Amino acid sequence: MRRFRWVQRFRQSRGYGVHSPFAYELIRKVLSSGMHYYAFDEIADYLAAHHPEISLNPPLHHLSFRLVNHFKAKDILELHSGIGVNSLYLSSPGRDIHCTCVEERAEQITFARELTMPRSSQFTLLNQLPEEGTYDAIFIYHGEGRSLSPDSLMRLSRPDTFWVVYPVNTPLSKQFWRNIVNDERVGTTFDKKDIGIAFLRQTYSKLHYFI
């Protein structure tokens, strides 16, 4: 089974056997893209100079940037955003992007406020889910002990909203991700090892890809 999954990932990450034009374009231009953006170096250099204690997660950060940039997302919700490192990547594709960052822990919010201060107009920091509003994209960092459901995300979503879940391979997050993949309200989904991407738009076929 493990070897079969590896072969499946190898093929689909290169577009082989992917018949959906939407999925093929997304895989080739975004999910499997090696394109490097100036913002990647700019953020990494800034953090190295001011917060050398912070370790980066380039696969997650770079993919976050590419997805926001590709779909021109303007209103972004980030759940369990921690100290705000990925928030910098989400906001970098354009000055008209606004991120609502939700983090329950006060000390994390304090750090995030310091980190995002140079672009403070692009961020709203909250300690709970917003009660109203919908978003172009929702990024969920689903660590142990988190209590979210597809229903809680649906009320914050538009028909063309996409979700990004990280990680999807821990004991708790596996079930959370499985619930999203199996939800009939969700269209195409992509499993990129430890990152899951889901698109709600029903004009896309309900297909699941391993990238």
What string of DSSP letters covers 92-111? TT-TT-EEEEE-S-HHHHHH
pLDDT at 10 over 50: no
**Backbone torsion region of residue 144, taken as left when φ is above 0, otherwise alpha when ψ lies between -120 and 50, otherwise beta:** beta
The helix/strand count (H/E) of the chain reads as 8, 8
Packing angle between helix 58-71 and helix 38-50, nearest 10 degrees? 140
Candidate CATH numbers 3.40.50.300, 3.40.1170.10, 3.10.129.10, 3.40.50.150; the one for domain 2-210: 3.40.50.150
Q: How confident is the model at residue 201 (pLDDT cuts 50, 70, 90)?
A: confident
Q: How confident is the model at residue 180 (pLDDT cuts 50, 70, 90)?
A: very high
CB contact set of 11 (below 8 Å; sequence gap of 6+) = 17
| Total Cβ atoms within 10 A of residue 144 | 8
Residue 3, judged by CB atoms within 10 A of its CB (0-12, 13-18, 19+), counts as: exposed
Q: How confident is the model at residue 53 (pLDDT cuts 50, 70, 90)?
A: very high
Q: What phi and psi values does residue 100 have, to the nearest 5 degrees?
A: -100, 115
Q: How confident is the model at residue 78 (pLDDT cuts 50, 70, 90)?
A: very high
pLDDT at 16 over 50: no
pLDDT at 200 over 60: yes
The predicted-structure confidence for 100-156, as pLDDT tens digits, reads as follows: 999 988 888 888 898 888 888 899 999 999 999 999 999 999 765 466 889 999 999
pTM of the model: 0.89
Rounded CA-CA distance 202/48 in Å is 42
Rounded CA-CA distance 136/195 in Å is 18
Question: Which 8-state DSSP code applies to residue 165?
Answer: E
Rounded CA-CA distance 187/201 in Å is 6
Q: Mean pLDDT score of the chain, rounded to an integer?
A: 88
Q: In this predicted structure, what is the pLDDT of residue 107?
A: 87
Rounded CA-CA distance 187/208 in Å is 9
Token pair of 132 as six digits: 């109203």
Contact 131, 156 (CB under 8 A): no
